[in-house]
Structure 1
Amino acid sequence: MLERGWEVKAFVRDATAPADAALHAAGAELAVGDLDDLESLRAAMKGVHGVFLMLTMMEGVHITAAGIAAEQRRGKAVVELAKELGVRHFVYSSLNGAGADSGVEYYAAKQAIEGFIAEAGLPATILRPVFFMDNFASFNRPGDYLGRTVPLAGDRLTPPQIAAVVGRIAGLPARSNEIPVEQVKAFDEQVGKMFAYFNEGPDQPVDTAALRAHHPDLLDFEGWLRATEWRP
């Protein structure tokens, strides 16, 4: 967004952290605060045109009940402040599968935040990435995205296909190993539920051709690996 000429204010916990300092060096204004400190949130959001919100349910390396509850609480607070302050475009990065009755608790938290946005009547765009994406394009074309929920994906690959692409780009042998869901649940119950839903839930294809027609620079997996010069 900075490269496109937007004034960007980033809400950060520690302005001296390397990633935050890099944002500042790139031209972003830093607003220091905490998502549980409403006054710091209000000060950061006052006078802005739009808000991009992406939250995490993680506590350390795990998804926990406390983390899920905190995500939902923080999302509600940001939505309510956006309504209070008259934010003109609210972009929320949810996830693909929210609202699908997946049985995954952290999916339900994302769905709840989508509900808070709808109840507040915010001029909003809901983005539902299937994995990791650059989610800021909606600010540049609000006429195309206000009021929409947009599934996002740049590619559609099976794990063996992902391994094959990684191997080809890295020039190394690569293979996909399937880990039983119960073993995943033993590490993190929520992650295990997510993969169980992937295996057993209804397929939710994303129309990548339509997305690419709107965004010709949208990368597929191989293109992303090459563009980032990814190496293992």
Structure 2
Amino acid sequence: MSTTPAREAGRSQGGGTGVLAVTGSTGELGGRVARRLAAAGQEQLLVVRDAARAPELPGARVAVAAYHDEPAARAALSGVDTLFMVSAAEEADRVSKHLAFIDAAVAAGVRHLVYTSFFGAAPDSTFTLGRHHYATEQHIKSTGISHTILRDNLYLDFLPNLAVDRVIRGPAGEGRVAAVARDDVADVAVAVLGEPGRHAGQVYELTGPFAITLEEAAATMTAVFNRAYRYEEETVEEAYASRAGYGAPNWQVDGWVSTYTAIAHGDLAEVTDTVERVAGHPPIDLAEMLRRSNAGG
């Protein structure tokens, strides 16, 4: 793996992906995508904030740029044809970072952008952070760049993190969530990156095979881990009070609580067949995801 500008690889003159750049390769989703591409023999440019943390992958080069650093991002993305953009960490200035990076990609001449958004993103999403994704999507569309939007439901991988001392507490009621595994999102992303033109202009809502309640999620964790998990209902007021001690900013607490209220409102319950249509296989369920996690795979 070497650290070189993308422009040295030249630009594709024919079909296919041309020069492919991947962000987020040090994280859970971007790392999965980068590893899959490497395993398939695809050369790629890993755009990271810290070169020392970039994964060592065959056929991968590294460029350093933060989302908000437009000059560095333009330099890193020069010569790139297709860009996989994982959404930034949940921060107060997340949208402005997204917009700066998108503008840099457009200025650098990126031809196709694949962005990871959130299921049903809207200006009035119950899940408050879904509004960040909607604003980002609108900006992508306004630039005129060819694009594909991957709207991921909550991650199945994230559900165990909701349990504190093996208890999931929140105001989700009996609402259902069609959570999707990161592995399945990564498979969809790789399929899209392999034929970006075929998926241009598409907004893909990605879900698991069925929608479950958090009580059912706790029961599945109990069965797979052979330890007792349970779900305890909170009111919205109780949810805010129970999280007040973390000292987090208001916008972040709103995001935490609205994760549950979005489930309660039914915003995340719709099941789609997109994973199977695009990735070519059915999505896995929570039990299978937990078994893979337990096995380290």
Q: TM-score range by the shorter chain?
A: 0.7 to 0.9
Q: Deviations over 1:70-124 (max 9, x none)?
A: 2111111122122222212201101013116225542222111100111111110
* Alpha-carbon spacing, 1:191–1:35, altered in 2? closer, same or farther (3 Å): same
The answer to whether the 8 Å contact 1:169/1:222 transfers is: yes
What pairs with 1:98-117 in structure 2 (closer than 5 Å)?
A: 98-99=121-122, 101-117=124-140
Is 1:37 the counterpart of 2:60 in the alignment?
Answer: no
The answer to whether the 8 Å contact 2:262/2:268 transfers is: no
Mean Cα displacement is larger for which, 142-151 or 121-130?
Answer: 142-151
Q: Deviations over 1:137-170 (max 9, x none)?
A: 3212334421110011123221122122222222
Q: Which residue of 1 aligns with 2:83?
A: 51
Q: Distance in 1 between matches of 2:277 and 2:89?
A: 33
Mean Cα displacement is larger for which, 27-36 or 158-167?
Answer: 27-36
Q: Distance in 2 between matches of 1:109 and 1:203?
A: 17
Q: Distance in 1 between matches of 2:65 and 2:267?
A: 40
The answer to whether the 8 Å contact 1:185/1:193 transfers is: no
Match of 1:212 among 273, 276, 280: 276
The answer to whether the 8 Å contact 1:125/1:145 transfers is: yes
Q: Distance in 2 between matches of 1:34 and 1:143?
A: 27
After TM superposition, the score normalised by the length of structure 1 is 0.81
Q: Which residue of 2 aligns with 1:2?
A: 38
Q: Which residue of 2 aligns with 1:199?
A: 264
Letter in 2 for 1:90: L
After TM superposition, the score normalised by the length of structure 2 is 0.65
Q: Distance in 2 between matches of 1:93 and 1:211?
A: 14
Letter in 1 for 2:119: N
Q: Which runs of 5+ in 2 are unaligned?
A: 1-36, 156-181, 244-252
Q: Which residue of 1 aligns with 2:219?
A: 164
Is 1:12 the counterpart of 2:44 in the alignment?
Answer: no
Match of 1:141 among 178, 183, 195: 195
Q: Which residue of 2 aligns with 1:154?
A: 208
The alignment of Structure 1 onto Structure 2 pairs a total of residues equal to 217
Letter in 1 for 2:133: K
The answer to whether the 8 Å contact 1:24/1:30 transfers is: no
Q: Which residue of 2 aligns with 1:226?
A: 291
Q: Distance in 2 between matches of 1:97 and 1:8?
A: 30
Mean Cα displacement is larger for which, 173-182 or 120-129?
Answer: 173-182
Q: Which runs of 5+ in 1 are unaligned?
A: 59-66
1:204, distance to aligned residue in structure 2 (A):
4.9
SS of residue paired to 1:34? coil
Is 1:83 the counterpart of 2:84 in the alignment?
Answer: no
1:173, distance to aligned residue in structure 2 (A):
2.6
Q: Distance in 1 between matches of 2:147 and 2:275?
A: 19
1:11, distance to aligned residue in structure 2 (A):
1.9
Identity of aligned residues (%): 26
* Alpha-carbon spacing, 1:26–1:217, altered in 2? closer, same or farther (3 Å): farther
